[in-house]
Amino acid sequence: MKMAKDFMQTHVEGNSLGLTEDEVAFYDALTRDEKVKEMLGDKILVQITKELTNTIRKSMTIDWYDKESVQAQMRRSIRRLLKKYG
């Protein structure tokens, strides 16, 4: 029951911020540490989350031959994005 309540609370919080389910997952990962949320604020975290989700979507592929290079490209894109926002 507690887990179901947590899921519902997360869903409601995501809707209030205008985030999709995928974006909520990244938002939760970014805000796991309360200091980050206090330091950056919700607006910047929502921007980071949306850009991060778009970056991952653009980089995704189903070609297993390119798996390692695609993962490296995703890591590079994520590092650039996080560096951009400090």
pLDDT tens across 40-81, in order? 777 888 888 888 888 888 877 777 677 788 888 888 888 888
Structural domain tally of the chain? 1
pLDDT attached to residue 78: 83
Model confidence at 10, pLDDT cuts 50, 70, 90, reads: low
Label residues 56-73 b or e (16+ Cβ within 10 Å = b): eeebeeeeeeeeeebeee
Instruction: Identify the burial level of 6 via C-beta atoms within 10 angstroms of its C-beta, where 0-12 means exposed, 13-18 middle and 19 or more buried.
Output: exposed
pTM here?
0.63
Give the separation between CA 16 and CA 14, rounded to whole angstroms.
Answer: 5
Please give the residue range of the domain that contains residue 46. Answer: 2-84
pLDDT attached to residue 14: 66
Give the separation between CA 70 and CA 53, rounded to whole angstroms.
Answer: 15
Q: What is the pLDDT of residues 22-37, one digit of tens each?
A: 788 777 777 777 777 7
